[in-house]
A and B are shown apart, each in its own frame.
With several copies, the nearest count.
Chain A
Amino acid sequence: MQATLEALTEEMARDPAIFVLGEGIGKRGGNFRTTAGLYERYGPLRLCDTPICERGFVGLACGAAMAGARPVVDFMFVDFVLDALGEIFNQIAKVQYMSGGRLRMPVLLRGCIGVGHSAATHHSGSYHPLFAHIPGLRVAVPSNPADAKGLLRHALRGHDPVVFLEHRELLGVKGPVPEGDWEIPFGRAAVVRPGKDVTVVALSLMVRHALAACAALEKEGISVELIDPRTVAPLDVDTVLASVRKTGRLLIVDEAFGPFGLGSEIAAQVAERGLDQLDAPIRRLHGAHAPTPYSPPLEAAVAPTAKTVERAIRDLLED
C-alpha cells in the first residue's frame, strides 16, 4: 500500500535508527513495492537486501534492536517467516520481559497474508492467530490504507515487537488517508458501520467482503454493525461486547483457519463476559481448514466471500 510506504518514508526521515531488512527490498523496492524509492534516498545500509535466510535475518533484527536500532523486517509472504518462528517466539517476544525491561525490542515484522492470485499454499497463509497466542508480540492486521498508515506509524514509535500483516488483495486498494503526523493506537477496534440487528466482526480483507454483504442486506432493512478489530493483539473485545449488548447476535469472519483462531478467542470472551446479552449462538466464518489450493475454482471455495458472509448473517438472524 502506498499508505504504509508513506509512513515508513516519513518515519525513516525522523528516526535514523530505522533500517529495513528483506529480500529484494533494496534497489528493487520490494516484491510488493513496500520500499519503493527508499533505497535511492537512504542507501544500502538502511535498505539491506538479505540472502534467503529468514531465520537468520529475523534473529539479526533481534540483536540489532537489543543494541538500539529499530529494524523493519520485510518478509514478503508470511509463509516464509515460519522458518523464523523460533527467533520470534523464543527471543524477540521474550527479551523485554527477561531483561526486566532494560532491553527494548522495537522490531517491526511485516509481510503479506491471504488467499488470492492462485498463489497456492506456500504464498497464501494468514497466521495471525499463531502470533497472537504468544505473549510479548503485538499483531496488526489492517483493512484499509488509513488504518495501515496509522498503525504502521504507531508500530514504528513503540518499544514492542509488532507483526504487521497486510492482505495481498488489499495492497492495490485505494482509500482516503488523513494528512499529517497521526497514529492509531493498538487495541482499539473500529466500528466500521453502525447497526442494530447483528454484530459482525471482520478482519483485513474480510471487512470489505462484510461491507458488501451489509450493503446487500441493508436493502432488505437488515442493519448490521460491522467491527474491525484492526489489531488482534491486543484485541479489543470491549467494543464487540458493547455492540452485542445492542444486537444480541454475533458473527466473526476471518480468512485464517478457524480452530484456535480469531473467532474462537472473541467467542470465548463474549461467552464469558457477555453471555446474558446473546440472543443466538455465536457464529464463526473462517477459511477452510486446509492448505490453499492453486486452481482458481478450488481457491475461490476456501476463503469467505461477500456471498458467504451474507449467507452467514442471514443464518444467524434466523437462529
Chain B
Amino acid sequence: MNGRDSSRALDLYRRMLLIRRCEEQLARGHQRGLIHGACHTYVGQEAVAAGVCAQLGAEDVVFSTHRGHGHALAKGVPPRELFAELLGRATGCSRGRGGSMHLFAPEVGLMGTSGIVGPCILQAAGAAYTFKLRADGRVAVAFFGDGAVNNGAFHEGLNMASIWKLPVVFVCENNQFATEVPFSYSAGNPDVASRGAAYGLPGVAVDGNDVLAVDVAAEEAVRRAREGGGPTLLECRTYRTRPHSEGMPDFTYRTREEVEEWKARCPLARLRVKLLEGGTPRNWRRSRRKSRGPSRTPRSSPRKVPGPTRPPRPRTSTRSRGSCPRRPSAPLARSRSCRPPSRR
C-alpha cells in the first residue's frame, strides 16, 4: 500500500470501527433494557456500508432497511443521534418516533430506513429519478438484504431503473439468511449478481467482508451512475455474526461453527492485517485516537451506555456525551473531490 491507499484504507477502517463499536454498545443497551423493540445489528457486515458510503458525497443519498444502523453511521449520522433515537429521545435522528428501524437524517443524505422489506429499493430509484430530472449528478443507493431479492419491489425497481438509466446503485447485502430462512432455500437462483441480466443491467458480486473490494466495486458502480451509465446491482456476500435481532436465539438454523468461521473473516481484522503488512501508516495512531469515543467505551465499562430511557426531550443525558462524539472526527460523507486521484 502506498501512502494514499493506506490513508484511504484507514478511513475505511475508521468507518467500520465506528459501526462495530456503536453496535456493540447498542447490543448492550438492548440487553440492559434501555433499547426497546427489535434491534438488528450490523456486526459482521461493516465493510459494505463503509465501502459503499466512502464513494458517496454528502449530496448523495442512501435508503436502507431494518438493519440500518451501519448505513446511518457510514453516511454520517452522528452516533449521538443514533443512540438518542434508540433510547427513545427527542434528540434522536427521528425525534424518538422511529427507533432502530426508522432512521431519518436527510441532512446527511440518510433518507430513511424502513421496517418493511422492499420499499427502499423503489425509493432509491425514485430519488435517482429526481436527480436525473435535475441532471445534478447525484447518486442514490439502496441497501437491502438477500431477503428483499425475492420481493416484487426488487423486480419492479431494478427494471424501472434500468429502462430509464437512473443514477442508482442497488447494494444487496447477501448475508445468506432472511431471519432464519436460508437464501439458498428461498431463491430459485441464489446468485444475486447474475440476476442483473434479467433487467439488462450489470450485476457484480464482491466479497462483502473485504472492504477494499467493496470500495473498488462501489467506485465503479457510483461512477457509472453519475456518468449516466445507469444502475448497477452490487451483491456483497457477507454474514451477520450476531442474531437476526438482539435477544433472538441463534443456533437453531445455523451452527456455532459456521458463525465462528465467519467471525474469523471479520472485515475489520482482515483490513487491520493488510494495513499492518503494509507498515503502520503515519496517521494510524491518530485515527485510533480520534474514534476513541465509541471504541473505548464498551471496554471501559458497559455501564457507560447512556442512562435509562425517558420521554423524548431536548437534551441527552450528560453521561452519553463523552462516549459518543457529536460527529465522527473525520468527515464521513466525503465530497467527491476528496477522492484519491489514484482512484479516478
Contacts and interface: CB of A to CB of B under 8 A. Distances in A.
A adjacent to B, CB under 8 Å: yes
Interface of A: 17, 19, 23-24, 27-28, 31, 45-46, 48-53, 55-69, 71, 79-80, 83, 86-87, 90-91, 95, 97-100, 102-103, 117-123, 291, 293-298
A33 to B, nearest CB: 12
A122 B36 contact: no
Given A66-B111, A66-B112, 11 more contacts: A51-B159, A53-B159, A56-B122, A60-B122, A60-B123, A60-B129, A60-B160, A63-B129, A100-B94, A102-B104, A120-B102
B133 A69 contact: yes
Given A52-B178, A67-B130, A67-B140, A297 B159 contact: no
A52 B37 contact: no
B123 A59 contact: yes
A34 to B, nearest CB: 15
A90, A98, A102, A298, most chain B CB atoms within 10 A: A98
12 contacts: A19-B133, A50-B160, A51-B156, A53-B156, A56-B152, A67-B126, A68-B130, A117-B37, A122-B101, A122-B115, A295-B92, A295-B311
Contacts of B96: 293-295, 298
Contacts of A27: 180, 252-253
A46 B133 contact: yes
B116 interface: yes
Nearest to A116: B37
A294 B96 CA distance: 6
A51 B314 CA distance: 42
Contacts of B251: none
Contacts of A90: 114, 116, 119
A95 B89 CA distance: 19
B111 A63 contact: yes
A79 B118 CA distance: 13
A119 B178 contact: no
B97 A60 contact: no
Interface string B72-98: 000000000000000011001011111
A95 B112 contact: yes
A69 B178 CA distance: 28
Interface stretch (B143-151, B208-216, B277-285, B290-298): B143-151
B130 A53 contact: no
B187 interface: yes
Those 6 A-B pairs whose CB atoms lie nearest each other, nearest first: A63-B126, A56-B156, A59-B122, A122-B115, A63-B123, A294-B99
A297 B97 contact: no
Interface string B20-64: 000000000000000011100000000000000000000001010
Contacts of B134: 68-69
Interface string B164-189: 10000000000000111100011100
Nearest to A65: B126
Nearest to A293: B97
A51 to B, nearest CB: 4
B112 to A, nearest CB: 7
Nearest to B115: A122
A56 B159 contact: yes
Contacts of B147: 51-52
A97 B156 CA distance: 27
Nearest to A64: B126
B220 to A, nearest CB: 23
Contacts of A122: 101-102, 114-116
B217 interface: no
Given A52-B147, A63-B63, A90-B116, A24 B104 contact: no
Given A23-B179, A24-B181, A66-B112, A98 B159 contact: no
Contact of B126 (A59, A118, A296): A59
A121 B127 contact: no
B330 to A, nearest CB: 25
A24 B157 CA distance: 19
Contacts of A293: 96-98
A316 to B, nearest CB: 30
A83 B119 CA distance: 10
B106 A23 contact: no
Given A103-B104, A294-B98, A294-B99, A53 B127 contact: no
Contacts of B104: 98-100, 102-103
A71 B180 CA distance: 22
